[in-house]
Amino acid sequence: MGSQYTSELFENTLEGVGIRRSYSRKGLPYDNARIESFHSLLKRELIYQRDFNSITDV
């Protein structure tokens, strides 16, 4: 888990927009396996199949 995801600024930003974050429990790396699998599929089917010229295009 990167420190950017545990910072107070990150936590407060999420809370401010009503997002409840989820982290895997220590020693249980499969907690978020479903969403990680979805992200992988999304990248393969959408992101890697296109060329984006700018962040606005994304």
Q: Is residue 19 part of a domain?
A: no
53 pLDDT higher than 70: yes
pLDDT at 27: 64
pLDDT at 10: 84
Domain hosting 41: range is 25-52
pLDDT at 21: 76
Q: Is residue 17 part of a domain?
A: no
pLDDT at 44: 92
pLDDT in tens, 9-52: 888 898 999 988 776 666 666 767 777 888 899 999 988 888 88
Contacts of 4 (CB under 8 A, 6+ apart): 10
Q: Is residue 57 part of a domain?
A: no
If one counts the domains in the chain, the total is 1
Q: Is residue 44 part of a domain?
A: yes
pLDDT at 29: 66
Q: Is residue 14 part of a domain?
A: no
